Structure formats: C-alpha cells, structure tokens
Amino acid sequence: MNSISVIGTGYVGLVTGTCLSEFGIRVVCMDVDAAKIQALSRGVIPIYEPGLAGLVAKNLESGRLRFTSDIAEAVAASNLIFIAVGTPPGEDGSVDMQHVLAAAASVAENMTDYKVIVNKSTVPVGTGRRVKALVRGTLERRGLAGLEFDVVSNPEFLREGSAVRDFMHPDRVVIGSESEKAANLMRDIYNVLYLIDTPFIFTTLETAELIKYASNAFLATKITFINEIANLCDAAGADVHAIAKAMGLDGRIGKYFLHPGPGYGGSCLPKDTLGLVAIGKEHGVPMSVVAAVIAANDAQTRRMIGKIEAGLGELGGRTIAVLGLSFKPETDDMRAAPSVPIIEGLIAKGCRVRAYDPVAMENAAKGALARHAGTGSFASCADEYDAAKGADAVVLLTEWNQFRHLDLQRLREAMTGRFFFDFRNVYEPKDMAERGFVYAGVGR
Ligand SMILES: NC(=O)c1ccc[n+]([C@@H]2O[C@H](COP(=O)([O-])OP(=O)(O)OC[C@H]3O[C@@H](n4cnc5c(N)ncnc54)[C@H](O)[C@@H]3O)[C@@H](O)[C@H]2O)c1
C-alpha cells in the first residue's frame, strides 16, 4: 500500500491527507499545533468544511489516516512528504516563507533514506530550488551528503467550501519535477484521478510554481473586472447580470467568476495577488495589471460603505444588520473577508453593527473583530432576524443559502428602517421594492 506524510494540517493539508487516505493510501498528518492534532486524533475537526468530518472519521477508523505532532514519526512513515503549511503575506505583501522553510528543514533534520519533498503550499517561483539547497546543506552538515532526495511542486487549487469535491475531481493536477522517479511516484499517488481522466500537467518546478499564482491572479482580475463594470452599470442604469451572462456565453471569456460583489477576499486571492506583484518586483518585471486589480479591489470594498452612506445619509448613530461574515458561503474562514473592512468602516463612522453568520461567528469574534467586543458598537447575534432588530438597514455580505430564502416580512418587522443593501445580488430589485424595501444591489 502506498503511503504519504503531510506536514501542516490546515484547510489544504487536512483535506489532502484525508482525501488521499480515502483513495486507499496510508497517510500520516503532522502539525506543530499539538491541540489541533489531539482534537483530530479524536475525529474532531477544527474547521468547517462540508463533507470533511465524515471522511476523517471513516479513515481514522480504518487506520489509513493518523495524526501526529512528532515530525520524526511523520518523516519516517513515508517516502513522499507533502508540505502544506501557511504562506501568509508579509508586511510589504511579499510571501512569508518561514513556515515552508521550517517544514523543509525539519524533514532534512530527520530523514535517513530517499524522500520526495512535495510542496503543496503556494510559494514564489524559485522556492523548489531554495528548498533543495536547504535540504542538501542540512544533509551535508549531518554527514549524509550522499543521501538522495527530490523536490516536487504540486500546487493545490481546491476552494474552501467545496474542498473535498475539488480535491477528488480537480480540473487538473500540476506536477513540477526534475526527476522522473519522483514524477512517477506522484503519478502513483494520484492514480485514482488518472483513472477518471483528470488532465495532468508534468512540467518544471518553476513553471508549476508560477501556474498557481497566474491562475489566482487571473481569477482575481476577472472578479475585479466585472465589479468595475457593475459600478459603471450603477452609474449608467444598466444591468450587470445581463452583461455578465452575455459575456460569459462567449467561449473565449467563460461564464465563471463574473458575479459582482463587495470585492474578493479569503485566504488566497488577496495574498496571492500581493505575492505575485512582489515576485514580479524581485525579478524586475512589473505586474501592472495585478497591481491595478489589488487597488481596484480595495476601492470596491470601500465603495460598499459609500453605497450605504448614499442610502442612509449620516451614518452616526445608525444600526446596521450585517448578514454573513465569512469571505464566502460554506466556510468559517475569516481571513481577508470583505466583511471586516466594511464593518470596521461602518463602526468608524459611528454605526452600531449587529452581525450574524451561520458558522463564522466564533472566528470573527476571536479574530479580526475581537477588539469591538463589549464596546457597544458590535453585537454577535443569534440569527438573521435577531441581527435585524432595530436596524436601519440590512447589509447582505455573504450569500449563504439560508439568506437566499429570508422571511422578508419578519425581517422588515424586526427592523426600524427599510434599507436592504444586497452586496451579493441575491434578490430581485423589483420584488424587494414591492415588499417595501429601499433596495440597492451591485450593478443593477
Ligand atoms: N485555503 C485554501 O483555500 C488554499 C487553496 C489552495 C492553496 N492554498 C495554499 O496552501 C497553503 C496552506 O494553506 P491553508 O489555508 O491550509 O493554511 P492553514 O493556515 O489553514 O494551515 C497551515 C497549518 O500549518 C501548520 N504549520 C505551520 N508551520 C508548520 C511546521 N513547521 N510544521 C508543521 N505544521 C506547521 C499550522 O499549525 C497550520 O495548522 C498556503 O500556501 C495556501 O496559500 C490554500
């Protein structure tokens, strides 16, 4: 039976390890966070990701999946070691590589036989070579200069909220490697995907590393483009949905990622666009399109506060109900969620915010919005109708399914005002007007 180890048990590492164990591979997942590992060993998963808990429980039970905080155990368990640790943005937007380098160093300190070090984290071009040099240096220091190893780049494209399905049915698998032996071992691990005709791209380390940034930056560009068209629609009285539909029917454009909103967020697009600009700078190649996308996206989020102000007038003393905090539905991830700058902006203008999210309340309360707890300007509410109590306006920020079917009469009765800012364009402007709301969407 094939086996792998995964270092880093967050959104990507846990999904990777669990899904590969579901493919029949023996998997050891390792993390430096001992509390997380203890919980996972009991089948308690630390994130909200549909379908994941059941798979973790099933594969723990079968013995194919296990968790450890002991790096030596993880390195000894397999020849293929996936690194799936965080690569957050540094102060200047460049990619903070400390966790990847620490993970690679810990593998080098513990290996005693041939290993393939597979980088799944999103990392700047050149990282594979940097990891190679680091491992080689460590092995020489340990008197193991002759020990063979390979480094592979295998970027991940899963989306939070549909991570299990995305991992099991990817659009493509990218494998960057200079070694045929390592590439063959990777092909073996992904055998199940091979059998369902998933396209595989075998390429160099550098190309694989850049594929990930190019893909994410392009997605961010598409979102930002339609957001700007939506803003023009607002000003010119056109309907962005009809425009997006007509554009999307053009096969050269494609229909995805053409839905306007309050700006992209999450743990990937914001940091990877910043990262690509920094990587370009390092290589003396301006990433001017992506730099413009970042600026336009920041402006889009601020623009939402302007929309609320344009509707309500003076914001001081207003009560605003915010529905949805996570950066998108079906996740509890609050990293770079547009809800945070929007709520911060409303509070700075003197609003009281009453917020509700089906799963992200806990992360919001202990993370980015923690400083407002107990100040009277931010309240965590029990549900959408509780959030609407005494509100001058409702702001829909995340299109959770339960917000698509609101009891609008109940909502209206709980509010003192009539404004409904639908920043995900879930409702029809005409219907909302008929129900007595003063409605504003994005671009229609
Ligand atoms: N989250 C996504 O949707 C997504 C999608 C594709 C790619 N990625 C990329 O995958 C990587 C991981 O992202 P994530 O969202 O899973 O991160 P995460 O923050 O959820 O998880 C990272 C985990 O790594 C652990 N860790 C850090 N240093 C470690 C070390 N030296 N040894 C062992 N464990 C260590 C942390 O404790 C944490 O549990 C990033 O590079 C990200 O850009 C993320």
List Cβ neighbours of 10 (8 Å cut-off, separation of 6 or more): 31, 47, 84, 85, 86
Using the predicted structure, report yes or no on whether residue 233 has a pLDDT greater than 90: yes
Asked whether the predicted pLDDT for residue 1 surpasses 80, the reply is no
Cα–Cα distance for residue pair 301/230, rounded to 1 Å: 13
* Per-residue confidence (pLDDT) for residue 15, from 0 to 100: 98
Q: Which helix (H) or strand (E) holds 27?
A: strand 26-30
User: Given pLDDT bands bounded at 50, 70 and 90, which one contains residue 251?
Assistant: very high
Which residue puts its alpha carbon closest to atom 10 of ligand 1? 121
Probe residue for ligand 1, chosen from 7, 12, 47, 127 as the CB with the greatest number of ligand atoms within 8 Å: 12
pLDDT range class, residue 305, cuts 50, 70, 90: very high
- Atom 7 of ligand 1: nearest residue by CA position: 156
Burial class (CB in 10 A: 0-12, 13-18, 19+), 278: middle
What separation in Å is there between the alpha carbon of 157 and the centre of ligand 1? 13
CA 78 from centre of chain: 28
Among 11, 87, 110, 131, say which to mutate for ligand 1: greatest number of ligand atoms within 8 Å of CB.
11
Residues β-bridged to residue 439 = 420
- pLDDT computed for residue 367 by the predictor: 87
DSSP states along 171-236: S-EEEE-S-HHHHHHHHHHTHHHHHTT--EEEE-HHHHHHHHHHHHHHHHHHHHHHHHHHHHHHHH
Per-residue pLDDT, 366: 87
- Summarize the confidence of residues 50-55 as an average pLDDT: 97
Give the pair of three-digit tokens for residue 80: 């293929």
pLDDT class for 115, splitting at 50, 70, 90?
very high
- The Cα 32–Cα 180 span in angstroms is 32
How far apart CA 92 and CA 290 sit, in angstroms, is 15
- What is the 3-state composition of the chain as percent helix, strand, coil, each rounded to the nearest 5? 45, 15, 40
CA 122 to ligand 1 centroid distance, Å: 9
Cβ contact 189:41 at 8 Å = no
The span from the CA of 246 to the CA of 242, in Å, is: 6
Q: To the nearest whole number, what is the mean pLDDT of the chain? A: 97
Distance 121 CA to ligand 1 centre (A): 7
**Mean pLDDT across 328-352:** 96
C-alpha–C-alpha distance, residues 164 and 16, integer Å: 8
Q: What is the per-residue pLDDT across 188-220, written as a single tens digit (0 to 9) for each?
A: 999 999 899 999 999 999 999 999 999 999 999
- Residues in contact with ligand 1 (CB, 6 Å cut-off): 7-13, 30-33, 36, 84-87, 99, 102-103, 121-122, 156, 158, 160, 267-268
CA of 272 to the centre of ligand 1 (A): 14
Q: Give the SS3 label for residue 393.
A: strand
> Which atom, in ligand 1's list, is nearest to the CA of 121?
41
Q: Is the pLDDT reported for residue 3 higher than 90?
A: yes
**206 within 8 A of 125, measured Cβ to Cβ:** yes
pLDDT tens digit sequence for 161-191: 999 999 999 999 999 999 999 999 999 999 9
Rounded to a whole number of angstroms, the CA Rg of the chain reads 24
Distance of CA 354 to CAs 127, 323, 370, 426, Å?
44, 9, 14, 20
* 189 Cα: distance to centroid of ligand 1 (angstroms): 21
Atom of ligand 1 nearest to the CA of 47: 20
Bridge partners for 390 per DSSP? none
SS3 of residue 257 by DSSP? coil
Residue 2: pLDDT over 90: no
Catalytic sites, residue numbers: 268
Measured CA to CA in angstroms, residue 133 lies from 20, 87, 382 at distances of 29, 19, 53
In this prediction, residues 124-147 reach a mean pLDDT of 98
Given a cut of 90, whether residue 365 has pLDDT beyond it is: no
pLDDT tier for residue 41 given thresholds of 50, 70 and 90: very high
Percentage of the chain beyond pLDDT 90 is 97
Q: What's the pLDDT at 374?
A: 84
Q: Hunting for tokens 């680091």 — which residue is that?
A: 134
Confidence of residue 271 (pLDDT cuts 50, 70, 90): very high
Give the CA count within 13 Å in the CB-facing half-sphere of 18: 27
Longest CA span, the chain: 78
Cα 99 → chain centroid: 18
Tell me, in angstroms, the distance from the centre of ligand 1 to residue 6's CA: 11
Quote the pLDDT of residue 67.
98
Cα of 99 from ligand 1 centre, angstroms: 9
Residue 319 has pLDDT above 80, yes or no: yes
d(CA 357, CA 338): 14
Those residues whose C-beta lies under 8 Å from the C-beta of residue 215, and which sit 6 or more positions away, are 157
Percentage of the chain beyond pLDDT 70 is 100
Grade residue 368 by pLDDT with cuts at 50, 70 and 90: confident
Backbone angles phi and psi of 415, in degrees to 5: -85, 160
